[in-house]
Amino acid sequence: MALLSDVGHQTLHQLSQASMTSIAKHLPTRYKTAPTKAQEPLIPSPDTFGQLESPAPPATPAPDPSPLLPTVAECAVHLELLETFYVLRQRILKSETLDTVFDLKENPREVTRRDGTKLRLKDTTLWTRREQKWHKYLELAVVRFLAWWKSAPCATAATRNSHPTFLEERLPPLDVIMVWHAALLNPATFKSRYRDSRGYKLHFPWRAIHQAIDHGPWTYQLRAEASQAFKKVTGLEADLFAQLESWASLPTPARTALTTFTVGTHHDSTLNVLTQGSAAHHLLQCVQTADSTLALGLREAIIRQTSFVDKMNAHLWIRSPALGGTLRRARSRYDNFLQLIRRHPTTMMVPTLDIDLVWHTHQCSAAEYRTAMLTLAGKFVNHDDSIVKSTLSGGFARTTALFRVHFAAEYPICGCWDCEALLSALVGEGRQREGDAGEDDNDDAQQPALDTVVEKVAADVAYHRAVELARRAKKPLPVRERA
């Protein structure tokens, strides 16, 4: 419990950071690189996702005490998906091809120095202006989701322990998944709008999503049959990003029509500049007939999630050496969070980042979430992501105080790799020593074991950081010497 006290938490963080600085000096400055792609380290480990393949094994040595909560594997796939969302947005913002499509040009500024020489200054507005590409992409993604939702989710409803053909062969494209995901994170609205549809009962297809993601570059690739199924039910191309980039080859009038057309508008003259029956023509027909209020509401829901996606990317738990421990603790803390809601039904509870991750994961399966809330929290709990920050601050302070009272533990966590890895190692060490006979409670007697743990954690974190740096530099990944 001392590890979770306020002072203990600060000490843990300082210890992990200090140990990284000192021990890193004694580590090799360069690791050997993997000779082949097949010998590169797998981070995250495939073992993290084992529950996806066998959600209900015949014999489980340690039964899950909270079967109504999302699994660690599902939370891990959620992290993968959020990272894929992040990378998609960066690709769109940085795409020079899309700059051409949207007629975005750099406008450098020229100034004259006192000596009369000219100086060309970089355009500082380009990045901001590039946001319009992302907003237009989202607007089109929402329209595509609405077209897909009308027919695709009419398959047999899926539960966590079943994986019908729909989830494998009809997995929608990434942009449609992103809209579906954002819609689910407003559970009260989603319930009121879609509860009577069979799609409401679908368990979010975590396994199929995991199989579609390449966690090296964080790209999302549909199977051929899934792409064909999407086009069959919607008449739309499966890859929206590729379709947008293909518009760069169109004549200027057509490009202008495509990039300025807004959802719900009716301008037949705009459609006339496009080839009848073309993919672009059909897409804009869908845009024209879409429910503008619903579509724009969904687009704003995705935009509101941008800060959460950015936070997950900044923490990058999916690459952390303590991924499993972080998610197991987050799941347990989320269970406690729901207990607080049950005990204090009129108090607004505000989650920490790790709890929010599990909460979001839970909401992604709407019908199961509703059932779980009635059981665990005593009521249906909405997730309102439009609440202003000042209101959340007061709620967070109250939640922190109640968490301390009910669970004798600190509520906020640091979340950095160092703290999470060291905490995982220390908890593991503690459990291992619980049954030891003649355990010495003297701090000095335990110190050598703690030093060993800290040194190992520092080496693990340093290595995982080296792997991530190599990955980002598109270099062969380092490997560690076997002990």
294 and 353 housed in the same domain: no
Contacts of 409 (CB under 8 A, 6+ apart): 1, 4, 403
Q: What is this structure's pTM?
A: 0.88
Query: To which H or E segment does residue 109 belong?
Result: strand 109-112
64 part of a folded domain: no
pLDDT tens track, the chain, 483 positions: 334 445 555 555 565 555 545 544 444 456 899 989 889 999 999 999 988 865 454 455 556 667 899 999 999 999 999 999 999 999 999 999 999 999 999 888 888 888 878 888 888 888 899 999 999 999 999 999 999 998 766 544 455 555 444 556 789 999 999 999 999 999 999 999 988 887 888 889 999 999 999 999 999 999 999 999 999 999 999 999 999 999 999 999 889 888 988 887 766 666 777 888 889 989 988 998 899 999 999 999 999 999 999 999 999 999 999 999 999 999 999 999 999 999 999 999 999 999 999 999 999 999 999 999 999 999 999 998 777 676 777 889 999 999 999 999 999 999 999 999 999 998 874 444 434 444 444 555 445 477 888 888 999 999 999 999 999 999 999 998 765
420 part of a folded domain: yes
pLDDT at 442: 52
70 part of a folded domain: no
- Nearest Cα to Cα of residue 295 among 139, 134, 191: 139
447 part of a folded domain: no
- Nearest Cα to Cα of residue 126 among 102, 158, 157: 102
> Are 143 and 286 in contact, with CB atoms under 8 Å apart?
yes
Integer CA distances (angstroms), 172 to 258, 287, 296, in order: 23, 18, 20
What's the pLDDT tens digit per position in 59-100?
Answer: 555 566 678 999 999 999 999 999 999 999 999 999 999 999
Place of tokens 């047999």: 156
pLDDT at 169: 72
> Are 151 and 233 in contact, with CB atoms under 8 Å apart?
yes
pLDDT at 26: 45
Q: What are the tokens at 420?
A: 């999470």
Q: What are the tokens at 254?
A: 């057509």
72 part of a folded domain: no
357 burial (CB, 10 Å; 0-12 / 13-18 / 19+) is buried
pLDDT at 101: 96
323 and 274 housed in the same domain: no
As a whole number of angstroms, the distance between CA 140 and CA 295 comes to 9
189 and 281 housed in the same domain: yes
As a whole number of angstroms, the distance between CA 263 and CA 142 comes to 10
As a whole number of angstroms, the distance between CA 278 and CA 287 comes to 14
Q: Is the peptide bond before 44 cis (omega within 30 degrees of 0)?
A: yes
90 part of a folded domain: yes
75 part of a folded domain: no
103 and 15 housed in the same domain: no
279 and 399 housed in the same domain: no
Place of tokens 């097949």: 38
How many C-beta neighbours within 10 Å does residue 256 have?
A: 16
- Decide which of 290, 310, 330 is a domain's last residue: 310
301 and 328 housed in the same domain: no
91 and 236 housed in the same domain: yes
178 and 152 housed in the same domain: yes
Q: Among positive and negative, which fits the CA dihedral 261, 265, 270, 276?
A: positive
pLDDT at 165: 47
Structural domain range at position 425: 2-54+316-433+452-479
- Nearest Cα to Cα of residue 352 among 3, 2, 1, 4: 4
* Angle (nearest 5°) at CA 471 between 322 and 465: 35
Query: To which H or E segment does residue 33 belong?
Result: strand 32-33
Q: How many residues does the chain have?
A: 483
Distance of CA 363 to the CA centre of its chain: 13
pLDDT at 188: 93
